[in-house]
Chain A
């Protein structure tokens, strides 16, 4: 597990990319355009998610002085 928020976001991108790859492959397998359409949606979503996520990351860093995900423990019950 990585605690650095940046790496967490990177890993999310990798996952999304992998899902997109699966979609396109499936679309090519059955010769339909749907897979590529899904991939476009995924791409759009990944872009917006990166934008918001990085903005949050900047705020997080400003508040906690580090990128350690474990530093955000105020919700500890």
Chain B
């Protein structure tokens, strides 16, 4: 039973991923991506990592994809962008990377075939063990990832800052230029900058 569930979920995952990268419409692609992630969550559950499955759905499919969709809605690209995408999906464009990916796939397949593939049943690894491992030997990683998240938060905040266009900087310079002139008499005219001073 779990084997068939695994195969069904695997096929769905691969199929939807392929669909993601070949769509022209960004929202369609995102929706297919969400389906793909849910299929992977099913695989996780089948492998005996129920906590991972839950995390996958909540964080990956739940927040990250939603974030993507927010951005797409905000940009509001419209039909023109979709049409532009169509012109770019020519075979000439994707043949090179496809070859590279195929070579990679072959390497991985070769590795798997070479290794000892005693197919064993999936053991259930309860979340308790994961938690103990996290706060045991992997404690440093936990702290580092918390710092990473903090940095990402601050960075995203700053990068998303909508800057207002500043007033003309010339005004500012003119204001500054009058101050050195204050000490000079009427002999010197002009902006007070020495011309051609190297």
Q: Interface on A for B, CB 8 Å cutoff?
A: 1-4, 6-7, 9-11, 13-14, 17, 21, 24-25, 27-29, 31-37, 39-41, 43-52, 54-59, 61, 66-68
Contact = CB atoms under 8 A, between A and B. Distances in A.
Interface in B71-118: 71-72, 74-75, 77, 81, 84-85, 88-89, 93-94, 96-97
Given A1-B93, A13-B33, A55-B160, A7 B26 contact: yes
Q: Sorted from nearest, which 3 A-B pairs have the closest CB atoms?
A: A48-B152, A55-B159, A33-B133
A28 B49 CA distance: 8
A48 B37 CA distance: 18
A54 B67 contact: yes
Contact of A46 (B30, B60, B71): B60
B64 A47 contact: yes
A4 B130 CA distance: 38
B130 A37 contact: yes
B contact patch SS: helix
B11 interface: no
B21 A2 contact: yes
24 contacts: A1-B97, A6-B72, A13-B33, A13-B64, A14-B21, A21-B43, A24-B44, A24-B47, A25-B47, A27-B49, A28-B47, A28-B49, A37-B130, A39-B49, A40-B55, A40-B130, A43-B60, A46-B60, A47-B63, A47-B64, A54-B71, A57-B71, A58-B74, A67-B77
Contacts of A37: 130, 133-134, 138, 141
A11 B75 CA distance: 19
Interface residues on B, range: 35 or more
B152 A47 contact: yes
Best-surrounded residue of B21, B52, B134 (most CB of chain A within 10 A): B52
Contacts of B72: 6
